[in-house]
Amino acid sequence: MGDERQETLGLRTLEDISVIILHSHDLQETLDNIVNLVAKRMDSDVCSIYLLEEDGVTLTLKATKGLSKASVGKITMKTSEGLTGLVIEQKGVVAIENAPNHPRYKYFRETKEEKFQSFLGIPLFERKTPVGVIVVQTREPRVFTGEEVSSLATIAYQISSIVINAKLLDSIRIKEEERAFFEHELKKIKAHGFTREDQAAGGKKKGGKQQLMLAGSAASPGFCWGKVYILNQRVNRNGSGLEKVMPRPEERKRFLIALEKAKIHTLYMEKRVAQLLSKEDAAIFHTHLMIMEDRGFISRVLDLIDKDYGAPRAVKEAVDYYLGAFSQMEDPYLRERSADMEDIGRRIIDCLEGNDPSRVRLREKRIIVASDVLPSDMATLDHEKVVGIITERGDVNSHAAIMARSLGIPAVLGLAGLLKNIGLRNEVIIDGNSGHIYINPDDRIKVEYERLQRDHSSKQRELDGLRDLPAVTTDGARVFLRANIGLLSDIRVALANGAEGVGLYRTEFPYMARKSFPDRNEQCGLYRKILEGFNRLPVNIRTLDIGGDKGLPYFAYPKEDNPFMGWRSIRVSLEREDIFREQLAGVLMASPHGKASLMFPMVSSVDEILAIKRILAEVKEELKRDGKPFDPAIPFGIMVEIPAAVQTADILIKEVDYFSIGTNDLIQYTLAADRNNPKVKKYYDPYHPAVLHSIKRVADVGIQSGKKVSLCGEMAAEPINALLLLGMGISDFSLSAPYIPIIKQAIRKISLSTCREIAAHVLSLESAGAVKEYLGKIKMELGL
């Protein structure tokens, strides 16, 4: 029965609290719904929430299920009073079977709580500072089990963040109601014939500024606030075909002249970014030049002009064709590369229509607001006067986000409804850590964010100090933290965050940016730059992973009902040996310039590995005959990302030098859940026991064989997950570079033995809900 209650309380309650957040309209409704839910799930007679007032010593009853509703808002006590105050004083759990007999028991007549015997109180924290208490009481004496206390502690942890955010939202709601009141009063004034001056005076009281909070994707960390500059990207300039179309020869000439002008502007931006940041950051513009010189792209535009399209419309149609290859991809990193193609089209159309794409000059420091910030925008902005960036589109893998992180500019992207809710007179607070912005915040929110900014600056200084330190546990276990990359510009970001090399280099983008498959010499040049950029640090190069969601405009794929289960990744490479051999040759030719290793995706059998080895041996023999130097002992590994590889890991390990667990696909294939399908996204769960035991099995096989097992994927970017995985036997991680410092900090504060204890307990649990609850408790205890 206890296990059933634990399961019911834990997973279902956490899920339902998420629903409550979405459907509650204010703080009071949120708290009321939570106490009703927890009381029901705990099978208790009472659940109450007390919050600390701003003085830090007064607790007020804010919501209750079971006590007198009339006492809400009226019952207050000092933290030195009562059992609830004792929870705050001790900053920990207070559980008592017979509460009225306790010396700290305090009776409030208004609550009518004399009939309740047992008491369980758990503090609500914000950054280790108590903000309130959640209390559970029952009529009959009851000893609360460890599982019940643990579950309620996890729920309390979630409630804490809800309370803080709800308070901020509530203050915005109150201000909005005030604004609506004054608007109503102004209408009454107008109806009674008051003067225009009187109306203006009344309007100035609120300045006509609406307060609002919007949530997006946290793209670059940090806090800032200030006035806005709305970037005029001429969003209506889209080559719609409404322009006058001249004779075909003139339209062709217009396009070719505009193309040359766009190349000149691109060269300027490449030079500017190289001077401002680095050649690696500027490399994206070299890719843009390659696309603008691509015969396939040029021919497509000219063919459309020959069909009586105007040049601007023809450019837009051609660009849209290429955008289609990117926008359908599952991999967010690769999907965001579509912004580069969009940028190229915008630049050419600017030149066609005579728009000046010159540098944006700001008179004072401002927050940049835009529908999207493209690479050319980042190149032409005056970065010294950009304090933050917010956009309606885009995400954390966009080139603008990468450059913002390089420059240390806080950025939040993907803010739905941003442009219709903001104006030039507005002020904005950006929280680049949580992905929230506050438009026209009141003084309370400003004070709160001043504190958060101080905390963030202090935390950042602490993390910066870790950059050159190794990731070592308190009992001496060494952990390696490497970066996932895909562009030359990622080198700078990775090294700035202390990456110890590259655990996953996605090689797809160089293929996507070309008109045809790049030959071995082109690929060698690119791989050499990556290897030299990391200066003898390991670089793990994954061979071409196309198919499924990753298409190439110049490569025909068969139509498949289920492409993710179809012809993709290594299956394409082994069938199209001509493409595969060129890539292997490119990597081998670049290998003397660094510390390269080869990794092959979606391998499922020994037969595939033997086929790869045969082809690799033949390519090596060919290079040897041609006198091309290469590393003959280049390490050879596979990605473990499908159940077949997990089940036969002990067989496959004999044929390779190392494994790399790709958690994103492993979770998807193990649970038969497409994480981008909203209908089944809830089934995509890294904490499912099947996923965790799969990872453990692969780690054990690596340990037993004496071969390295690394892990790449979003799962490792969360500190508590990294500690769990470390305890399961994984000591080599590859993740998005900005997450490396926070993972390193967590590792340096804990022992390997503790991580093993955490992992052992997690692997004994029978449900994802139980795992999440337990890890939530550990996360709170460790202050992560």
pLDDT tens digits, residue range 417-459? 888 888 888 889 988 877 889 888 888 888 877 777 777 667 7
- Rounded to the nearest 10°, the torsion over CA 215, 497, 676, 416 is 20
- pLDDT value, residue 652: 97
Tokens standing for residue 724 = 């769990």
Tokens standing for residue 368 = 């940049």
- pLDDT value, residue 191: 46
- Higher confidence at residue 653 or residue 92? 653
- pLDDT value, residue 455: 73
For residue 599, pLDDT beyond 60: yes
Residue 192 CA to residue 213 CA, distance in Å, equals 35
For residue 756, pLDDT beyond 60: yes
Q: Which amino acid is at 266?
A: T
- pLDDT value, residue 186: 46
For residue 779, pLDDT beyond 80: yes
* pLDDT tens per residue across span 175-184: 444 445 444 5
Band the pLDDT of 153: cuts 50, 70, 90.
confident
Residue 256, CA distances (Å) to 16, 263, 314, 448, 596 in order:
59, 11, 12, 55, 41
Q: Mapping DSSP to helix (H, G, I), strand (E, B) and coil, where does residue 638 land? A: strand
Band the pLDDT of 238: cuts 50, 70, 90.
very low
Q: What is the mean pLDDT of residues 174-193?
A: 46
Residue 136, CA distances (Å) to 39, 42, 78 in order:
7, 8, 19
For residue 170, pLDDT beyond 90: no
- pLDDT value, residue 192: 40
pTM greater than the 0.75 cutoff = no
Q: Which of 99-113, 225-239, 583-597 has the lowest mean pLDDT?
A: 225-239
With DSSP H G I counted as helix, E B as strand and the rest as coil, what are the percentages for the chain, rounded to 5?
50, 15, 30
Q: Which of 91-105, 454-468, 702-716, 736-750 has the lowest mean pLDDT?
A: 454-468
Q: Which amino acid is at 333?
A: Y
For residue 278, pLDDT beyond 60: no
Tokens standing for residue 633 = 């002992």
Residue 26 CA to residue 4 CA, distance in Å, equals 32
Band the pLDDT of 335: cuts 50, 70, 90.
low
**Long-range pairs, 259-264, Cβ under 8 A, ≥24:** 259/292, 259/298, 259/348, 259/351, 261/351, 262/292, 262/344, 262/347, 262/348, 262/350, 262/351, 263/289, 263/292, 263/293
Residue 754 CA to residue 752 CA, distance in Å, equals 5
Band the pLDDT of 676: cuts 50, 70, 90.
low
For residue 731, pLDDT beyond 70: yes
- pLDDT value, residue 442: 82
Mean pLDDT, all residues of the chain: 81
Catalytic residue (one of 47, 524, 712, 755):
712
Is 524 known to be catalytic?
no
Residue 526 CA to residue 543 CA, distance in Å, equals 14
- pLDDT value, residue 513: 57
For residue 587, pLDDT beyond 80: yes
For residue 7, pLDDT beyond 50: no
Give, for 512, the enclosing helix (H) or strand (E): helix 508-512
CA 634 distance to own-chain centroid = 33
Q: Which of 58-62, 425-429, 504-508, 554-558 has the lowest mean pLDDT?
A: 554-558
- pLDDT value, residue 12: 60
- pLDDT value, residue 193: 40
- pLDDT value, residue 677: 67
- pLDDT value, residue 26: 62
Band the pLDDT of 25: cuts 50, 70, 90.
low
- Higher confidence at residue 494 or residue 480? 480
Catalytic residue (one of 265, 399, 456, 688):
399
Residues 6+ apart with CB under 8 A from 764: none
Band the pLDDT of 631: cuts 50, 70, 90.
very high
Is 47 known to be catalytic?
no
Tokens standing for residue 190 = 């107008």
Which range has the top average pLDDT, 53-67, 515-529, 539-553?
A: 53-67
Q: What is the mean pLDDT of residues 5-22?
A: 56
